[in-house]
Structure 1
Amino acid sequence: MGSRTVFSRATRSSLCTLVLALAVASGAFANPSNKWRVEMDGRAKVDGEIELSLTPEGGPSSTVVIAIPKGTGENSVARLTRDALRQHFGKDVYHVEVDDGEDVLVKKRGSTRDFDLVVVRNTVDGLRIHLQRE
């Protein structure tokens, strides 16, 4: 019988993150939009971070890291995300708002190019994040 290699959940997660990051860097999954919805679901069981990457068509990526304290619910995570994106980009590049309490809408402004939005990492156990092009 052949041997079977077993990877821990953390190792599988790290490998998936690495593969996704490489794919994003190479443009393999590039599908820009003028507006994105970031849906938050759950509550933080531990302190952690969310790292988002925004990449305008033909431009360099910008990453934003959001610290999420233990016990933070989805509505508060949405507000923290909105505030971090506004602080990083200012008001001239993207319009960022909370929608339905737990969602964050990110929309390009003016002549800003369509962009990709990717969750690079989410270390917040108990919090799920779903991205949707609008």
Structure 2
Amino acid sequence: MKFVGIDIAKGTFVAACPVQNGYQTKSCPNDAKGVKKFIGSISNADYHCVLEATGNYGTLLLYMLSEQEIAVSLVNPKQIKYFARMMMVVTKTYFVDAKLIALYGEKMQPPIYEMPTAAILFTILTDNPATDLA
């Protein structure tokens, strides 16, 4: 199982995927099109995505990953903050944070998130009625 760390912002998200010598990072738009493109670049059997609970910013990504049956974990941002301190990481960028979240996933093996489908779908559609999930 390969752990992908995802750092989410309002307009974009950065994903850190493990490669031979560390992590490869890429930035994607935080909309339905960007999430679909990201999901197309990973396979559901090999990857486990880990992201911080960032309110509504990660809702669409969380929903679409779950719909594609890709393992996804939602962790408390404080857990990542304290993990970063333990790893003595002082640099704070989206790319560094995504790598740190991936490393956290690898070391801590967080549980897979259980999606409350009806409630989460309602939240997505009411926050952004123009969202194209198809």
Normalising to structure 2: TM-score of the pair? 0.28
**Structure with the greater alpha carbon radius of gyration:** 1
Which one has more relative contact order, counting CA pairs under 8 Å at least 6 apart?
1
